[in-house]
Amino acid sequence: MQSYEIEIEIDENGEIKAVVKGIKGQSCSDISKFLDELGEVLRDDPTAEFRQQPVAAGNRLKVGGK
């Protein structure tokens, strides 16, 4: 099972900033969806990890060989 971390910061005005770490691609949005229910989403900025494609377990990659 893939592990991940959600870093949540709440400022003095009650605004929540959350960053999901350790998840690549669309799964990041799926995991953090529960945060959308806490109030109005002011910004949703994808991280570099979001833009990466997840690698399925068991996939093999052969580089530059015969």
Tens digit of each residue's pLDDT (9 = 90 or more) over 8-36 = 898 998 888 888 888 777 777 787 888 88
| Number of domains observed in the structure of the chain | 1
**CA pair distance 9, 28, nearest whole angstrom:** 17
Please state the rounded mean pLDDT for residues 41-56. Answer: 73
Query: CA 6: distance to chain centroid?
Result: 8
The predicted model scores a pTM of 0.58
In a domain, 42, yes or no: yes
Q: Is the pLDDT of residue 56 over 60?
A: no
pLDDT value for 1: 57
Rg from Cα positions in the chain: 16
Structural domain including 12 reads 5-51
Work out the pLDDT band at 37, boundaries 50, 70, 90: confident
pLDDT value for 12: 94
